[in-house]
Amino acid sequence: MAKAKTKITTTTTTVTTNIVAKPDWQMPGILAEPVEEYLYSILPPRDEVLAEMEAEAAKRKIPIVGPAVGRILHQLALMIGAKTVFEMGSAIGYSTIWWARAVGEGGLVFYTDGDRKNADQARGYFERAGVASRINIATGDALELLSENKQEFDVIFNDIDKDDYPRVFRLALPRLRKGGLFVADNVLWSGKVAQKNPDHTTKAIMEFNRLLYHSKDLFTTILPIRDGVAVAVKK
Protein backbone atom coordinates (compact mmCIF):
# COMPACT_ATOMS: atom_id res chain seq x y z
CA MET A 1 0.00 0.00 0.00
CA ALA A 2 1.52 3.35 -1.05
CA LYS A 3 2.07 5.97 1.64
CA ALA A 4 0.27 9.27 1.23
CA LYS A 5 2.58 12.21 0.54
CA THR A 6 2.30 15.18 2.87
CA LYS A 7 2.92 18.64 1.40
CA ILE A 8 4.54 21.04 3.81
CA THR A 9 4.18 24.73 3.09
CA THR A 10 6.62 27.12 4.73
CA THR A 11 5.60 30.72 5.20
CA THR A 12 8.31 33.32 5.65
CA THR A 13 7.39 36.47 7.47
CA THR A 14 9.52 39.58 6.96
CA VAL A 15 9.62 42.01 9.83
CA THR A 16 10.65 45.55 9.04
CA THR A 17 12.11 47.55 11.88
CA ASN A 18 12.14 51.32 11.69
CA ILE A 19 15.39 52.59 13.13
CA VAL A 20 15.29 56.19 14.17
CA ALA A 21 18.60 57.91 13.58
CA LYS A 22 20.05 59.76 16.54
CA PRO A 23 20.57 63.50 16.06
CA ASP A 24 24.18 64.56 15.57
CA TRP A 25 24.03 66.76 18.66
CA GLN A 26 23.56 63.70 20.87
CA MET A 27 27.15 62.61 20.08
CA PRO A 28 27.05 58.98 21.30
CA GLY A 29 30.20 57.13 22.25
CA ILE A 30 31.18 58.21 25.76
CA LEU A 31 28.53 56.34 27.72
CA ALA A 32 27.42 52.78 27.05
CA GLU A 33 24.63 53.05 24.47
CA PRO A 34 21.86 51.52 26.65
CA VAL A 35 22.74 53.89 29.50
CA GLU A 36 22.75 56.88 27.16
CA GLU A 37 19.40 55.91 25.65
CA TYR A 38 17.96 55.54 29.14
CA LEU A 39 19.15 59.01 30.19
CA TYR A 40 17.56 60.64 27.15
CA SER A 41 14.37 58.57 27.47
CA ILE A 42 13.57 59.85 30.97
CA LEU A 43 14.08 63.54 30.22
CA PRO A 44 10.93 65.63 30.53
CA PRO A 45 9.66 66.97 27.21
CA ARG A 46 10.98 70.39 26.23
CA ASP A 47 8.79 73.36 25.39
CA GLU A 48 7.90 74.21 21.80
CA VAL A 49 10.88 76.53 21.22
CA LEU A 50 13.58 74.20 22.51
CA ALA A 51 12.02 71.21 20.72
CA GLU A 52 12.01 73.17 17.46
CA MET A 53 15.64 74.16 17.98
CA GLU A 54 16.63 70.54 18.57
CA ALA A 55 14.90 69.50 15.35
CA GLU A 56 16.51 72.36 13.42
CA ALA A 57 19.94 71.50 14.79
CA ALA A 58 19.51 67.86 13.80
CA LYS A 59 18.35 68.80 10.30
CA ARG A 60 21.13 71.32 9.62
CA LYS A 61 23.84 69.62 11.72
CA ILE A 62 24.16 72.64 13.99
CA PRO A 63 26.22 71.92 17.11
CA ILE A 64 24.09 72.32 20.24
CA VAL A 65 24.56 70.81 23.70
CA GLY A 66 21.24 68.99 23.67
CA PRO A 67 18.72 68.61 26.50
CA ALA A 68 20.74 66.42 28.90
CA VAL A 69 23.60 68.92 29.03
CA GLY A 70 21.21 71.87 28.81
CA ARG A 71 19.66 70.74 32.08
CA ILE A 72 23.11 70.50 33.68
CA LEU A 73 23.91 74.08 32.65
CA HIS A 74 20.59 75.30 34.02
CA GLN A 75 21.09 73.45 37.29
CA LEU A 76 24.64 74.73 37.76
CA ALA A 77 23.46 78.31 37.40
CA LEU A 78 20.65 77.73 39.90
CA MET A 79 23.03 76.12 42.40
CA ILE A 80 25.26 79.20 42.67
CA GLY A 81 22.53 81.79 42.15
CA ALA A 82 24.18 82.99 38.93
CA LYS A 83 23.04 86.32 37.51
CA THR A 84 25.70 86.89 34.85
CA VAL A 85 26.82 84.35 32.26
CA PHE A 86 29.30 84.87 29.43
CA GLU A 87 28.77 82.28 26.73
CA MET A 88 31.57 81.73 24.23
CA GLY A 89 30.20 80.18 21.05
CA SER A 90 26.41 80.32 21.13
CA ALA A 91 25.34 79.19 17.60
CA ILE A 92 21.53 79.44 17.36
CA GLY A 93 21.20 80.13 21.09
CA TYR A 94 20.01 76.76 22.41
CA SER A 95 22.22 76.70 25.50
CA THR A 96 21.71 80.46 25.87
CA ILE A 97 18.03 79.87 26.61
CA TRP A 98 18.85 77.31 29.30
CA TRP A 99 21.19 79.85 30.94
CA ALA A 100 18.74 82.75 30.53
CA ARG A 101 15.90 80.87 32.19
CA ALA A 102 18.21 80.01 35.10
CA VAL A 103 19.46 83.56 35.78
CA GLY A 104 15.87 84.81 35.99
CA GLU A 105 14.60 88.39 35.97
CA GLY A 106 17.44 90.86 36.38
CA GLY A 107 20.00 88.35 35.14
CA LEU A 108 22.04 88.76 31.97
CA VAL A 109 23.54 86.25 29.54
CA PHE A 110 26.10 87.38 26.98
CA TYR A 111 25.54 85.57 23.68
CA THR A 112 28.54 85.49 21.31
CA ASP A 113 28.91 83.99 17.86
CA GLY A 114 30.91 84.77 14.74
CA ASP A 115 27.97 84.23 12.36
CA ARG A 116 25.40 87.01 12.03
CA LYS A 117 22.86 84.58 10.53
CA ASN A 118 23.10 82.46 13.66
CA ALA A 119 22.63 85.57 15.80
CA ASP A 120 19.57 86.68 13.82
CA GLN A 121 17.99 83.26 14.12
CA ALA A 122 18.83 83.11 17.82
CA ARG A 123 17.19 86.50 18.38
CA GLY A 124 13.91 85.13 17.05
CA TYR A 125 14.10 82.13 19.37
CA PHE A 126 14.85 84.38 22.35
CA GLU A 127 11.78 86.48 21.66
CA ARG A 128 9.55 83.43 21.39
CA ALA A 129 11.05 81.90 24.56
CA GLY A 130 10.36 85.11 26.49
CA VAL A 131 13.99 85.66 27.53
CA ALA A 132 15.16 88.31 25.06
CA SER A 133 15.43 90.97 27.78
CA ARG A 134 17.95 88.79 29.65
CA ILE A 135 20.32 88.30 26.72
CA ASN A 136 22.96 90.60 25.25
CA ILE A 137 23.74 89.56 21.65
CA ALA A 138 27.20 90.21 20.22
CA THR A 139 28.71 88.91 16.98
CA GLY A 140 32.43 88.50 16.44
CA ASP A 141 35.35 86.63 17.94
CA ALA A 142 34.35 85.36 21.40
CA LEU A 143 37.89 85.69 22.72
CA GLU A 144 38.06 89.34 21.69
CA LEU A 145 34.59 90.06 23.05
CA LEU A 146 35.50 88.55 26.43
CA SER A 147 38.81 90.42 26.43
CA GLU A 148 36.98 93.72 25.91
CA ASN A 149 34.61 93.00 28.78
CA LYS A 150 36.21 93.91 32.11
CA GLN A 151 33.49 92.78 34.50
CA GLU A 152 33.56 89.58 36.55
CA PHE A 153 31.03 86.88 35.71
CA ASP A 154 29.28 84.24 37.76
CA VAL A 155 29.64 81.72 34.92
CA ILE A 156 31.81 81.55 31.82
CA PHE A 157 30.81 78.86 29.34
CA ASN A 158 33.38 77.77 26.78
CA ASP A 159 32.13 76.17 23.55
CA ILE A 160 34.20 77.78 20.79
CA ASP A 161 36.66 76.22 18.32
CA LYS A 162 38.50 73.54 20.22
CA ASP A 163 41.96 74.62 19.03
CA ASP A 164 41.45 77.81 21.06
CA TYR A 165 40.56 76.12 24.35
CA PRO A 166 43.96 76.75 26.02
CA ARG A 167 43.68 80.45 25.12
CA VAL A 168 40.22 80.58 26.65
CA PHE A 169 41.57 79.21 29.93
CA ARG A 170 44.14 81.99 30.27
CA LEU A 171 41.67 84.70 29.32
CA ALA A 172 38.62 83.54 31.26
CA LEU A 173 40.06 82.91 34.70
CA PRO A 174 40.69 86.59 35.62
CA ARG A 175 37.12 87.42 34.54
CA LEU A 176 35.47 84.83 36.76
CA ARG A 177 34.37 85.78 40.26
CA LYS A 178 35.45 83.80 43.29
CA GLY A 179 32.95 80.97 43.68
CA GLY A 180 32.03 81.30 40.01
CA LEU A 181 31.92 78.44 37.51
CA PHE A 182 34.05 77.89 34.42
CA VAL A 183 32.20 75.35 32.27
CA ALA A 184 33.39 73.81 28.99
CA ASP A 185 31.76 71.46 26.50
CA ASN A 186 33.35 68.73 24.33
CA VAL A 187 36.25 68.06 26.70
CA LEU A 188 36.28 64.31 25.94
CA TRP A 189 36.03 64.93 22.19
CA SER A 190 34.26 61.69 21.22
CA GLY A 191 36.80 59.77 23.28
CA LYS A 192 39.74 60.95 21.19
CA VAL A 193 41.47 62.27 24.32
CA ALA A 194 42.18 58.65 25.25
CA GLN A 195 43.61 57.62 21.88
CA LYS A 196 47.24 57.28 20.96
CA ASN A 197 48.73 59.83 18.55
CA PRO A 198 46.04 62.54 19.00
CA ASP A 199 45.64 65.18 16.32
CA HIS A 200 46.26 68.90 16.87
CA THR A 201 42.72 69.70 17.98
CA THR A 202 42.62 66.81 20.44
CA LYS A 203 45.97 67.89 21.87
CA ALA A 204 44.53 71.36 22.47
CA ILE A 205 41.61 69.88 24.42
CA MET A 206 43.97 67.65 26.41
CA GLU A 207 46.10 70.68 27.29
CA PHE A 208 42.97 72.57 28.34
CA ASN A 209 41.93 69.69 30.62
CA ARG A 210 45.42 69.55 32.10
CA LEU A 211 45.32 73.29 32.82
CA LEU A 212 41.96 72.92 34.54
CA TYR A 213 43.03 70.10 36.82
CA HIS A 214 46.43 71.57 37.67
CA SER A 215 45.24 75.11 38.37
CA LYS A 216 45.59 76.14 42.02
CA ASP A 217 42.71 78.55 41.49
CA LEU A 218 40.15 75.97 40.37
CA PHE A 219 38.54 72.77 41.58
CA THR A 220 37.58 70.79 38.48
CA THR A 221 35.47 67.76 37.60
CA ILE A 222 34.77 66.35 34.14
CA LEU A 223 31.27 64.91 33.75
CA PRO A 224 31.31 62.02 31.24
CA ILE A 225 27.98 62.80 29.61
CA ARG A 226 27.40 63.38 25.90
CA ASP A 227 30.85 64.68 24.77
CA GLY A 228 32.20 65.51 28.23
CA VAL A 229 31.44 68.63 30.29
CA ALA A 230 34.11 70.21 32.48
CA VAL A 231 32.89 72.07 35.56
CA ALA A 232 35.44 74.13 37.50
CA VAL A 233 34.70 76.32 40.50
CA LYS A 234 37.02 79.23 41.27
CA LYS A 235 38.41 79.05 44.79
Query: So what's the pLDDT on residue 104?
Result: 97
CA 206 to chain centre: 18
Amino acid at 178: K
Output the CATH code of domain 24-234: 3.40.50.150
DSSP letter (8 states) at residue 193: G
3-state secondary structure of 159: coil
Tell me what percent of the residues of the chain surpass a pLDDT of 90.
Answer: 86
Across 29-35, average pLDDT? 86
Structural element, H or E, at residue 85:
strand 84-88
pLDDT, tens digit, 9 for 90 and up, residues 46-83: 999 999 999 999 999 999 999 999 999 999 999 999 99
Across 137-161, average pLDDT? 97
- Bridging pattern class, strands 229-234 and 108-113: unpaired
Identify the residue with better confidence: 153 or 21: 153
**Strands of 135-139's sheet, edge to edge?**
135-139, 108-113, 84-88, 153-158, 176-185, 229-234, 218-223
Angle between helices 94-103 and 48-60 (to 10 degrees): 160
Query: So what's the pLDDT on residue 7?
Result: 43
Q: Is the pLDDT of residue 209 over 90?
A: yes
Q: Which residues contact 38 (CB under 8 A, 6 or more apart)?
A: none
Query: So what's the pLDDT on residue 20?
Result: 55
The answer to whether 204 and 165 have CB atoms below 8 angstroms apart is yes
**pTM of the prediction?**
0.89
pLDDT, tens digit, 9 for 90 and up, residues 93-114: 999 999 999 999 999 999 999 9
